[in-house]
Structure 1
Amino acid sequence: MSLRVRRGAAGSAAILGAVAISIGAAAGGATAVASTASPATGPDTSTMAVDGAARPALPGATRFATFNASLNRAADGDLLADLSAPDDPQAAQIAEVIQRNRPDVVLLNEFDHVEGGAAVEAFQRNYLAVGRRGARGIEYPYAYTAPVNTGVPSGFDLNRDGEIGGPDDALGFGAFPGQYGMVVLSRHPIDLDAVRTFQHFRWRDMPGALLPDDVETPEPGDWYSPEALDVLPLSSKSHWDVPIRIGSQTVHFLVSHPTPPAFDGPERRNRLRNHDEIRFWADYVTPGRGDYAYDDEGGRGGLPAGARFVVAGDQNADPMDGDGEPGAIAQLLAAPTLIDPWPGSLGAIRASWEQGGANREHRGLSWFDTADFADEGPGNLRVDYVLPSRRLVPVGSGVFWPVPESALSRLNSASDHHLVWVDVLTGLG
């Protein structure tokens, strides 16, 4: 193992029709609805099996996935301790979700970073490689993980509570360095020498950055002092450009986990940071707009024109609902160089109807939801994305959210997020 430490109202009737089909068929057993429709005319479940898992990818296709696995713990060292033994129930469920869907390349968000990659190795050895409840074990010969900003002390009173220290004053929210980290697992070689990380790119160095404002003063964008802005990065965790070698092609796996747009005040420091963390990738993949970016090794600029890439991660932003800054995720979905494959699931529709609460007031279609949040608010949202470039050809996509009648619905509680996958052909275009 290599290891370096838009939704629209047009589809409403069709989606609701799919709800009726899935609910009506459930009494006699779970049934997949075969369709080749676009989101404008109805859901495509032809690439999902009756249990909600992804069908095997087409020959020649590569499956990319993102999964906020919630493999974070309250104290430094706890995750490694849990994964060092083969009997952690949550880790076993997370492993089974991955085994059932079998992505070739997967980003795991909220996987506590352990220097040297010991937690990644333990997860692979004790969980992924061990078949779970009839699912085959899966091995990833290549992996990438690196330090993140969560839990790293800033030395400043970033939340202005009168004290310096604690999770809210860290460079990214976290109780200890590495909490809520990330890892990329791949069955294809990772070009480790070409990986770019943007952990230390400063927020203020983004042109037109939406810096938070102290509403009690006349000066704009002055919530943080100039001294704090000297050290405050844009990324609450990190942004990574991880090149994956698939045959003769290189696909840049662009991964991140922007901060939730909540837990702040009228200054909107988290909402605005979420917006700009998302914007970073939108600029990076658009020729001429990412020239300002500099990586942790001093390299400058975004992706060259024509590069193949997949943007992935828990973006903590829904196109139409939730608490995000208006247009936050739209700026990425509208990037001219990428495609939104519209992954969804019947399980998300069922969950929205049966849980009710804030879901009843949502403007977006529940078919696209990827996270099961509190029913009273914000409700279930689409926050996890796998977005391939136009040089790639998507041939299947989905969200692993089994309907209640499925034997695999027990895996819905593994995390409050669901695995999102997209199959692409890399040798065309």
Structure 2
Amino acid sequence: MVRARLAFLPVLALTAGVLTAPAAQAEPAPGRLEPVRFATFNASLSRAAAGQLVADLSTTGDARAREVAEVIQRSRPDVLLINEFDYVPGNRAADLFRDNYLERGQNGAEPIHYPYAFGAPSNTGLPTGFDLNRDGRTGTADDAQGFGFFPGQYGMLVLSKYPIDTGAVRTFQEFRWKDMPGAILPDDPATPAPADWYSPEILDVLRLPSKSHWDLPIRLGRASVHFLVSHPTPPTFDGTEDRNGTRNHDEIRFWADYVTPGRGGYIYDDAGGRGGLHPGARFVIAGDNNSDPHDGDSVPGAIDQLLNARRVIDTRPGSLGGYLAAREQGGANQNHKTPSFLDTADFNDDAPGNLRVDYVLPSRGLLPVGDGVFWPTSRSPLARLNGASDHHLVHVDVIAPGPWRIP
């Protein structure tokens, strides 16, 4: 399908990319109430070098991109977060992915059209000037604001069939970790002082989001649902100080505080606005949170901060494919406490095994009417798509009472 190029607009004080549809498509037409499918997918589309993703998506033949596009086409989300999609100023990579992959049918799947998209800078690859991992060097990927070999690596992209309220978008890329009250800062076990892995000079610049946190109001007729997206750092690849585990915990906590009345007053966004989400606002939290409720390496209770937040609904999406994969692969999966039906990621069988780390969590005030994890069984003709990423697409379908008109 050929469509008009979508305009790039700055948002807040960032060089964020917001792509909008032509005026004729600006608002959904009135119609009967229907579910809207929200989804998250860590698509593992990041590349090792800046510019490589644009080069690969400039053709229609990238095998990984074709598989990822087919997963999306067969799942057909209306609003989708893609994790590990390199941010490119102007969102050139997003345009190419839609034009050359999503809007072309893959292996008999129907093309899918997303007239709206949002991409913004990521903390990955941004130098801090400090030796964060204490290996005697500065300027490495591990010394960046978020792990990355170049700015924007492992970024995020949101695609939507419905308009994004660009004037109300909030991003939190620059929020400093130390500004979270009660932050679990990493501790140097070789010293008696608590929480002293990072010096005061480092904490003056070190940000909490390893990528970013975005609040994107999605306009659904006359109402909006806030799509709250992030990708907390994996709680591994560190030492006994657990600097990544503690950061993962607090990145998850950020959204729990943001949506809980009375707890988000300390939060500030990149434009200087303060406070959490307005009480009663409807939202969907989505992302690869890199935290399983019971298994893996995250700080105990990390993801429970969201799952147990009083305004959050956990519908517990699952799949027969995940259940059978754990049985077939064995290894660490045999001792897991989280039901394998709920797994969303297929990791090394020895450790940590398959985990539930990807979440789509609607708020109270929304009515979930369906959910699932795209994980075909090994006997399915679509099992070939299980290798598209080590994560699987997760979706939840919701409707809402009140003035919500869906075409």
Q: Distance in 1 between matches of 2:392 and 2:398?
A: 20
> 2:320 aligned with 1:349, yes or no?
no
Q: Return the letter of the residue paired with 2:227.
A: F
Q: Distance in 2 between matches of 1:337 and 1:186?
A: 24
Alpha-carbon offset, residue 248 of structure 1: 1.0
Long gaps (5+) in structure 1? 6-57
Residues 83, 231 of structure 2: 8 Å contact kept: yes
Residue 217 of structure 1 is matched in structure 2 by: 191
* Aligned CA distance change for structure 1 residues 98 and 59 (closer, same or farther; 3 Å): farther
Alpha-carbon offset, residue 149 of structure 1: 0.3
Residue 158 of structure 1 is matched in structure 2 by: 132
Which residue among 262, 265, 269 is the counterpart of 1:288?
A: 262
Residue 424 of structure 1 is matched in structure 2 by: 398
> 2:105 aligned with 1:131, yes or no?
yes
Q: Distance in 2 between matches of 1:117 and 1:74?
A: 18
> 2:47 aligned with 1:73, yes or no?
yes
Q: Distance in 1 between matches of 2:401 and 2:274?
A: 28
Q: Distance in 1 between matches of 2:58 and 2:262?
A: 46
> 2:240 aligned with 1:240, yes or no?
no
Q: Return the letter of the residue paired with 1:124.
A: R
> 2:291 aligned with 1:317, yes or no?
yes
State, as a whole percentage, how many aligned pairs show the same letter. 67
Residue 12 of structure 1 is matched in structure 2 by: none
Residues 2, 142 of structure 1: 8 Å contact kept: no
Q: Distance in 1 between matches of 2:202 and 2:216?
A: 29
Q: Distance in 1 between matches of 2:311 and 2:400?
A: 15
Q: Distance in 2 between matches of 1:95 and 1:162?
A: 42
Residues 33, 399 of structure 2: 8 Å contact kept: no
* Aligned CA distance change for structure 1 residues 292 and 228 (closer, same or farther; 3 Å): same
Q: Return the letter of the residue paired with 2:254.
A: F
Residue 148 of structure 2 is matched in structure 1 by: 174
Alpha-carbon offset, residue 133 of structure 1: 1.0
Q: Return the letter of the residue paired with 2:91.
A: G
Residues 392, 428 of structure 1: 8 Å contact kept: no
Secondary structure, counterpart of 1:190 in structure 2: coil
Which residue among 371, 375, 379 is the counterpart of 2:345?
A: 371
> 2:370 aligned with 1:396, yes or no?
yes
Alpha-carbon offset, residue 236 of structure 1: 0.3
Alpha-carbon offset, residue 387 of structure 1: 0.1
Alpha-carbon offset, residue 94 of structure 1: 0.3
Q: Distance in 2 between matches of 1:184 and 1:374?
A: 28
Which residue among 334, 337, 344 is the counterpart of 2:308?
A: 334
> 2:162 aligned with 1:188, yes or no?
yes
Alpha-carbon offset, residue 219 of structure 1: 1.1
Which residue among 384, 388, 398 is the counterpart of 1:414?
A: 388
Long gaps (5+) in structure 2? 1-5, 9-15, 18-31
Alpha-carbon offset, residue 363 of structure 1: 1.1
* Aligned CA distance change for structure 1 residues 2 and 335 (closer, same or farther; 3 Å): farther
Secondary structure, counterpart of 2:44 in structure 1: strand
Per-residue Cα deviation, 1:253-273 (whole angstroms, up to 9, x for no partner): 000000000011111000000
Per-residue Cα deviation, 1:50-105 (whole angstroms, up to 9, x for no partner): xxxxxxxx961100000000001111111110001110000000000000011000
Which residue among 85, 90, 108 is the counterpart of 2:59?
A: 85
1:74-113 maps to which residues of 2 (within 5 A)?
74-113=48-87
TM-score, length of structure 1 as denominator length: 0.87
* Aligned CA distance change for structure 1 residues 362 and 428 (closer, same or farther; 3 Å): farther
Q: Return the letter of the residue paired with 1:131.
A: G
How many equivalent residue pairs?
Answer: 377
Alpha-carbon offset, residue 427 of structure 1: 3.4
Per-residue Cα deviation, 1:333-363 (whole angstroms, up to 9, x for no partner): 0000010011000000110000000001111
Runs of 4+ in structure 1 off by over 4 angstroms are: none
Secondary structure, counterpart of 2:90 in structure 1: helix
1:260-279 maps to which residues of 2 (within 5 A)?
260-279=234-253
Residues 319, 329 of structure 1: 8 Å contact kept: yes
* Aligned CA distance change for structure 1 residues 424 and 2 (closer, same or farther; 3 Å): farther
Alpha-carbon offset, residue 364 of structure 1: 1.3
Q: Distance in 2 between matches of 1:334 and 1:101?
A: 27
Residues 249, 426 of structure 1: 8 Å contact kept: no
Q: Return the letter of the residue paired with 2:274.
A: R
Alpha-carbon offset, residue 217 of structure 1: 1.2
Secondary structure, counterpart of 2:148 in structure 1: coil
Alpha-carbon offset, residue 2 of structure 1: 5.6
Q: Distance in 2 between matches of 1:391 and 1:155?
A: 45
Which residue among 82, 107, 115 is the counterpart of 2:89?
A: 115
Secondary structure, counterpart of 1:71 in structure 2: coil
Q: Distance in 2 between matches of 1:428 and 1:243?
A: 17
Q: Distance in 1 between matches of 2:104 and 2:120?
A: 25
Alpha-carbon offset, residue 428 of structure 1: 4.7
Q: Distance in 1 between matches of 2:176 and 2:279?
A: 25
Residues 399, 418 of structure 1: 8 Å contact kept: yes
